[in-house]
Amino acid sequence: MRRVRLGVFTAACLALPHGAASAQPVAPPSAASTAPSAAPTGVLTKAPALQRFVEAVRPAGTEAIEGSVLLNLVVQVDGTVGDVTVEAPTGHGFDEAAVAAARQFTFSPAEVDGAPAAVQLSYRYNFTVTTQAVTVVADVPVGALTGVLVERGTRAPLVGVTVRIESPPLEAVTDAEGRFEFQGVPAGQVKVVVDEASYYRIEDLEPIEAGKATAVKYYVERTTSPLEGTVVVGRRLKKEVSQKTLTLTEIRKIPGTSGDALKVVQNLPSVARAPFGGGQLVIRGSNPDSSGALINRHLIPLAFHFGGLRSTFSSALLESIDLYPGNFGAEFGRFSGGVVDARVRRPKTDRIHGFVEADFFDAGVLVEGPVGENGAFALAGRRSYIDALLPLFLPDDANLDFVVAPRYYDFQAIYDWKHGPQQFKLYLFGSDDALTFLLDQPASDPAIRGSFKNQTSFSRLYANWVYRVTDDVTQDLSVSVGMNNLFFSGAGRFNFKNDVWLVTAREDIEVKLGERLKLRTGLDVESFVGELDITAPQPPKEGDDQGAGTPISTDKLITAKRDFLFVNPALWLELQARITDDLLVVPGARVDYDYKLDDYTIDPRVNARWQVVDGTTVKGGVGAYMQRPGPDESDPDFGDPTIQLERSVHSTVGLEQRLAEGLTLDSSIFYKWLYGQVVRAPAEDVTGGPLAEADQRGIDYENLGKGRVYGLEVLLRRELSDRFFGWISYTLSRSERKDAPTEAWRVFDFDQTHILTALAQYKITSAWEVGARWRFVTGNPETPYEGAIYDANTDTYTPLRANTVNSSRLPSFHQLDVRIDRNWIFDEWILTGYLEVQNAYNRANAEGYSFNYDYSERALISGVPILPSFGLRGEF
């Protein structure tokens, strides 16, 4: 609605009420419910926009008084305003006047998970006093001034912003499209003023011609970065006890991550640091393979490109990332560690948007925009150029010739359509990593020479149909079809080729059973069919020598060439019961079946959250979880098909405390019990020879392993404000394993006693931002060598490990990363450049040891030295 106040006034002074920040809620809209029973469970996918503003009627006698009332509005599903409460009164009768006016506002409906939903938001209604001295001049020629206010750089329309003409004193408020209009403006030059909170003031002289309309367009620049806040992300209804949600507005500029959203997960409590900063997800003391990366709740085989440099899905297309380090709900399964679920956002629909970016490692591009009335699309791609740069930095005597230096690319194509109660999504995305090199001379093992080639790729076609059948029933069907391709060959001796077609499907149904009860249930199926062609050494297991140990020349080679099929269906059910307004209990269960092993599990789980007082929530949960053994472990040729599913029990209790506005403390104590873990059967020949021939099952495995993981996790988090955000995360934990009932407990390969991350980001101006991250992590365990045995047949040395596995540790890791961002804001696009310095004080962090030929001497292998990098991004 356009609101114009004009005219030639006879009064010397006039008091005008208006909402000075009327369309800019003082806090992001929250998907919190108007009542517990109406709690939305998803993400706010469309914020409400003010469409009809109603001026408050000033109480008599307040014409010279200013005031500001902070209101809490409930915007109902149809955009009308329901409950209005005063959060911060100002008196003088302004509170009642503001409430009465706000009740008549109209908003565009908000959407949660793509469907219209009721939300609540804060709204500040300002009563200001404007002194207007206007002289009535008869027969003065007049014209008109029309215009539009958009945010500089993003071109987002500014809604509900007051535009003033100083002389004569006129005011107009922009409508939902940022338009404003003045009629009857005296001809000549007029001074136009826009003075809006969070934006730089605009003063401009505009010529007005009699009988004509002057059209203007103002690009108004934010005082803080315009890129922040462009993605509005609500909070899910919290029903998990350990879930951590990151939004893109927080994480794009965290130092040390090069803007990669998934890498930021590694800064949260419960996530151990991977060696060399790689992409392994080691969550709450579980194996990397025991945790999964999901896109919209569907598994992807590879979260990161080569060496963990970059995630395989564009961060720019993500809406949020949920980390579930344990005690996740029944909808997730097949992992005894944690789950990282990245949610893809709906592409923007107001106009065509896009960016081009490039940094030290790769370059990417994205284009998105509307398709028709209800559709939206996005196309994105990224390609590395390490293959072009790395050879330039290799020393001449590197004994290495890259045919294909590390190279990766990924792509995403998204179509999103929604209309009324239905939403349809179609994604096509994939990733490809390749590396080929020639090694002229072996480093220590004659087998490690010649040509080595590795290629890892996957592609997915993902379809999702969400239908809100009634206000109480929603169904969500999603299917992902694609291929995983893994190829490795080395020295003409080793070969691994694994081509897998897979289908994962989920059908989730949500039924509101009452004001306080909601039922969620679903079917979760994954199936794999593929071909395997392998001649390669057995991959090392947890507790084995992962590094420089057993020479490949002396290792047993496993050989197989055949097809395989895995089908793993699961059924899950969850009840969200809000016992009282403050107590939410979520019992659930999940039944998993493994066709290959002909084994099943029934895993009951329960989580609860109790808001003791406002700002204080106690939470807890306990549940059973399963994990499928590795494919090699259950293989009929080189594993043991008689083994069973691995089991675990997760338990967590915690406290969430709001310490101040925007400052929260989230702490948890957890204990995880692992049992039935697959380990090698004792006293078995694992290297070939007569026993392997005699024992046609290959390596014998048994479900004899046990594990226990316990610790404390703390996250002190300052949420994003205009200028600052950051957090301190700390994990104190111990993860232990027992490979046989008679053995003593030993620490897990990635056990890290202390994991501390402190990071902060500060916006100095709209152009400059700085950030820093400091980490301290206990060194990983390692097993010392005590000499070596020389195999005269193969000319290799095999180190002799100490009897106690993981009996010593690498030195502790600590590192400072800093980052400076600079924005150049133009009228219709924004250029962002950054300089990031990893390991700013050049700490020689130990990532492992290198050894001489017979393992009698060793030296620390240092990680990345001080590494400056820079990047540019142009966004429109």
Partner 1 sequence: MRSHWHTVFGLTCAALGACGDGFDPRSLLSSYRVVGVTVSANEVSPADSLTLKAWDFDPRDAGLMSDAPPPTYAWSLCPVPLGSAAQFQCLTLEGVSLEMPLEGDAAEITVDLGPDGLDLVGTVLPKVSAALAKLQGGATDGLPVTPPPTLPLQFRLRAGDPSIGVVQVVRTVSLRLAPSESAPPNKSPRLAALTADARPFCEASVEAGAPECFAGAPVGTTLNLRVELDSGPREVCTADDLAQARCPDATPPIEALTYSWFTSAGELEFDFTNDETPENALKLPARLDEEGREAQKVYVFAVVRDGRGGLDVLEASFDMTRLP
Nearer to partner 1, 702 or 875 (CB): 702
**Other CB atoms within 10 A of residue 398 CB:** 12
Instruction: Give the residue with the Cβ less far from partner 1, 208 or 295.
Output: 295
* Min separation Cβ 789 and partner 1, Å: 5
Which two tokens mark 380? 């994105």
User: Closest distance between partner 1 and the C-beta of residue 276, in Å?
Assistant: 7
Q: Using the minimum distance from each CB to partner 1, give the nearer residue, 675 or 849.
A: 849
CB 749 within 8 A of CB 782: no
Among 225, 78, 86, 208, which residue's Cα sits nearest to residue 154?
A: 225
In the complex, least distance from residue 499 CB atom to partner 1, rounded to whole angstroms: 13
Smaller CB separation from partner 1, 162 or 286:
286
In this structure, which long-range contacts are made by residues 787-793, counting pairs with CB atoms below 8 Å and at least 24 apart in sequence? Answer: 787/854, 787/855, 787/856, 788/854, 788/855, 788/856, 790/854, 791/551, 791/553, 791/554, 793/554
Output the smallest distance, CB 583 to partner 1, in A.
Answer: 40
C-beta closer to partner 1: residue 409 or 851: 851
Q: Which is nearer to partner 1, 534 or 772 (CB)?
A: 534
User: Residue 225 or 456: which CB sits closer to partner 1?
Assistant: 456
Q: What are the CA-CA distances from residue 602 to residues 522, 606, 673 (Å)?
A: 15, 13, 17
What string of DSSP letters covers 83-121?
A: EEEEEE---TTHHHHHHHHHTT-EEPPPEETTEE--EEE
Q: How far apart are the first and last CA of the chain?
A: 27
Give the span between the Cα atoms of 703 and 634, in whole angstroms.
11
| Token pair of 670 as six digits | 């957890």
User: Alpha-carbon distance 593 to 570, whole Å?
Assistant: 6
DSSP string of 406-447? EEEEEEEEEEEEEETTEEEEEEEEEEEEEEEEEESS-SS-TT
Structure token pair of residue 764: 């100095």
- Count of positions (residues) in the chain: 876
- In angstroms, give the least distance from the CB of 558 to partner 1: 11
CB of 784 to partner 1, least distance (A): 13
Q: Which of 493, 74, 40 lies closest to 235 in space, CA to CA?
A: 40
Coil vs helix vs strand at 521: strand
Q: Are 146 and 213 in contact, with CB atoms under 8 Å apart?
A: yes
CA dist 627 and 630 (Å) reads 9
For partner 1, which is the closer residue by CB, 135 or 852? Answer: 852
Instruction: Specify the DSSP element, H or E, that contains 244.
Output: strand 244-247
Q: What is the nearest approach in angstroms of partner 1 to the Cβ of residue 769?
A: 32
Query: Residue 212 gets which letter from DSSP?
Result: -
* Nearest residue (CB) to partner 1, 94 versus 785: 785
Coil, helix or strand for 710? Answer: strand
Smaller CB distance to partner 1: residue 63 or 401? 401
CB of 559 to partner 1, least distance (A): 6
Shortest gap between Cβ of 722 and partner 1 (angstroms)? 39
Nearer to partner 1, 245 or 431 (CB): 431
**Residue 593, φ and ψ in degrees, nearest 5:** -125, 135
